[in-house]
Structures are given as C-alpha cells and as structure tokens.
Amino acid sequence: MADNLASVREEVSIANRILSHEGVLDAFGHASVRHPTDPGRFFISRHRAPQLVGPDDLIEFTLDYKPVRPTTLRMYSEGIIHGAIYQARPEVMSVCHHHSPAVLPFCISGAELVPVFHLGASMGTKVPFWDQQDEFGDTDLLVRTAEEGASLARALGGNWTVLMRRHGATVAGTSIREMVFRTIYGCVNAELQWKAQQQGHVQRLTPGEASRGGTHNIKPGPLERAWDFWEHRLRVAGGHLSGAAKAKPAAAKARSTKPKRAAKRKRR
C-alpha cells in the first residue's frame, strides 16, 4: 500500500508538471488524483504553481475539500471542483482544472467545442457548457462553495470535459494518464477547430467516429506512448524534479564557489 500510494503521489505531481510544460497550466490551474484505496479522499497540491509541484506538496482531502490532517499550508481556492466531481462520478480517478488559451475563446464566445480530429475524440463526444451566473448571479468566477462545485459536476454529467463561462475548463479521467491525455488533446482540438473556423468551415467527427476514436485513444498503448513522450520532453527540459528539489543542488553549488573565490583574492 505504501509503495502504491507513493507512486500515485509521484505520478500526479509529474502530471502537474507535464500539463504545465505542454502549455495547458501556467501559474494557475491544478490536477488531482483520488486516493487509490479510499474513494472518499483525494490528493491535490498545496497552493503552488503546477510546474513546481512535487509529491511532498500534496495534501490529502475528504471529498468536501477538508484536509484529513490539520495544516497551516495555504490551499487552492477551487479545490472543491475536484471533490465535487469525485462525489458525482465514482469511476473518475483524476481531475484537471485549467485556463488554457486554446479553450478560452470557446469559454468567452459560447461556441460549441466539438471533436474535429481523431485524437481530439478523447475529450468526449460532447463538451457541455457551464455558466455559473445561471444559478449564482455575479460572482468572482471562481468555484469556491460546495453548491457551485455540485453545479459544475452536474453540468459535466457523464461527459469528460466541461467548459466554464469566461473561466476555463475541467477535465476528468479514470486514471491520471487518461486525464492528461484528454486534457492535452482537448486543447489541441480547440486550437485546430479555431484555425478551421478561420477558413470558414468546420467538419466535426461523426458521433460514431468520435465514440470509436475516443475509445481507442484511451487504451493502454496510446496512453503509455503519449505519457512517455511528454515525460521525456519534461525531463529534457529539466522539469522532471520539483522546484524545491532542483533548488538544493543550485544552492549547494553557489555555496561551494564562495571559498574558492575567497582563496583567489587572498593569493592576490
């Protein structure tokens, strides 16, 4: 159990950094994972930019977004999004909330986001649209309360991606890697759809194509191939370790150079 939990924590921290490196997350947004043996709990990072998230940053929460153990660490404002979806969808094991520039034009205009190429089918055959104002009037556009989280989860329904008016998107998956795949290729699909619209015509996948393509995309083969690619890109870019872990050798190097410089000045 301990080894399994450690690997899950490591994988979701890598997922945060992959999604940041691939341009989906920036300083904001977050990815979470349901506890592998306790479906009534989930892990999400403390209040930190996704690119810097490591396993030690993860906090365990109940599904109503209460920390299992008391903490003085600052938490995300919108962690309730994750808990609400885990409550509504027992099969969901991982969730991402993001504000990718690829999907924001659709969130702003209200234009329907549809699958337009084979890998885009993984975002789901239908992408519903949630307007927070319908139920809650003028807000700061953040999802902070249990009622707002439940409303978003209802809008998601049995789908895998939901757009949020003038805000961003939330994506679910039955595993961390599936969630990452759906999230990244959903954003790629949005970019391609927008470009096709500039040419004056968008030919969406048929329902059958979207269903069959989506089913194929989340098989172990495609998921592992894509994950290996994204993880390799992250490693080559030097982002495979958390920010804290990377900072230690840099600091040590800085300290080690001081005696040498001092010695050199003394010889002069």
User: Do 166 and 268 belong to one domain?
Assistant: no
The model scores a pTM over 0.85: yes
CATH code, domain with 229 = 3.40.225.10
Given this model, what pLDDT does residue 2 score?
53
77-84: average pLDDT? 98
Q: Helix, strand, coil proportions of the chain in percent (round to 5)?
A: 50, 10, 35
Which domain, by its residues, includes 263? 243-268
Given this model, what pLDDT does residue 218 score?
96
62 bridge partner residues: 41
Residues in the chain: 268
- 3-state secondary structure at position 35: coil
179-208: average pLDDT? 96
User: Do 101 and 16 belong to one domain?
Assistant: yes
User: Do 120 and 251 belong to one domain?
Assistant: no
Point out the catalytic residue in the list 78, 148, 178, 231.
78
Task: Give the pLDDT band (50/70/90) at residue 239.
Answer: confident
User: Do 138 and 258 belong to one domain?
Assistant: no
User: Do 257 and 228 belong to one domain?
Assistant: no
Task: Give the pLDDT band (50/70/90) at residue 240.
Answer: confident
CA distance 242 to 56: 9
Residue 78 a catalytic site member: yes
User: Do 143 and 265 belong to one domain?
Assistant: no
Q: How many domains does one find in the chain?
A: 2
Q: In this structure, what DSSP letter does residue 156 have?
A: H
User: Do 34 and 148 belong to one domain?
Assistant: yes
Asked if 107 contacts 165 with a C-beta cutoff of 8 angstroms, the reply is: yes
User: Do 174 and 247 belong to one domain?
Assistant: no
User: Do 226 and 259 belong to one domain?
Assistant: no
User: Do 135 and 73 belong to one domain?
Assistant: yes
User: Do 31 and 134 belong to one domain?
Assistant: yes
CA distance 16 to 231: 11
User: Do 250 and 172 belong to one domain?
Assistant: no
